Amino acid sequence: MNTRQGLVIGASRGLGLGLAEELARRGWRVIATTRGQGELAGNERITQERLEMTSAKQREGLRERLEGQELDLLFVNAAIDRGDLPITEVPEEMFTEVMVTNAYSPMRTLEALRGLVKRGGTAAVMSSEQGSVANNTEEGYELYKASKAALNQLMRSYATRHADDGHTKLLIDPGHNRTSLGGPGAELEPRDTVPQVVDVLEAQAGAQGLQFLDRRGETVAW
C-alpha cells in the first residue's frame, strides 16, 4: 500500500500543528508549512516548508518547490480574530486584514496548489460554524463571522468551477477549541478535536461535491 501524502498549510501552532502531527502518527507523510522554523522539528514523517500565505510570491515559490509531488490531501488552515466589535466600530484596515487572511489568502493558496492533488484526493479548508449564515442567531464577532462566511462562499464558487477535477472538497468546522485563536475559555481541547477531524478527512476521501462538515462528520448549515 502506498504511503499517503498530505500538505497542511498553516501548521505553526494550534489545530494546524495538531493536524500535521496526527496525520504523521497515522502513517502519512506530511509536508507542513509554518511562518517560522522549528515548530515541527524531530518528526521524520514531517517535512517543514516556510510560507506566509498572504504573500503571492511565497505562494508561487512553494508551488515551484513542490513541483512533481502528488498529494492525497491538501488542507488549508488560516484565521485571525481582531476582537468582538460591531461592524460600526471596525476600521477599514482591520476589515481588509481579516478578510485577506481568513478568506482571500486561503483560497488563493488552494488555487495555487490544487494541481498537486491527485484525482481522488481531497482539497479541504478549515472553516467554522461561525461562518454559517443560518446559525448566526447570537450577537458578537461580526467581522470574524463575515470572513468565514466569505470563505465558505468562495469555496462554493471554487467547487463549482472545478466540479470535474475528481477531488473531494471539504469545509471543516472543528468547533471552539482552546487555541491562541479560540482562547482559554473554549470548551474543546485540540488533542481531542484533531483526531476527530482526521477521521472525517479519511472517511470522506473519494466523496463527490462540496460538503461543510463538523468534527463529527455532521453537516453544518450554510
Is position 221 within any domain? no
How confident is the model at residue 79, as a pLDDT? 87
Residue 2 above 90 pLDDT?
no
Residue 184 lies in a domain: yes
What are the tens digits of pLDDT across the range 180-189? 666 677 677 7
Residue 19 domain-assigned (yes or no): yes
Mean pLDDT, rounded, for 68-90? 94
Q: Is residue 95 part of a domain?
A: yes
In a domain, 26, yes or no: yes
Place 169 in a pLDDT band, splitting at 50, 70 and 90.
Answer: very high
What's the CATH code of the domain at 168?
A: 3.40.50.720
Total domains in the chain come to 1
Query: Is 219 within the bounds of a domain?
Result: no
User: Is position 4 within any domain?
Assistant: no
| DSSP secondary structure of 138-173 | S---HHHHHHHHHHHHHHHHHHHHTTTS--EEEEEE
Question: What predicted TM-score, i.e. pTM, was given to this entire model?
Answer: 0.93
State the average pLDDT over residues 81-87.
Answer: 92
**Residue spans of alpha helices (H) in 36-104:** 56-65, 92-99
User: How far is the C-alpha of 102 from the C-alpha of 107, rounded, in Å?
Assistant: 9
Q: Is 71 within the bounds of a domain?
A: yes
Tens of pLDDT along 22-68? 999 999 999 999 987 556 666 889 999 999 999 999 999 999 999 99
Range of the domain at 199: 9-214
pLDDT of residue 37: 59
C-alpha grid cell for residue 134?
443560518
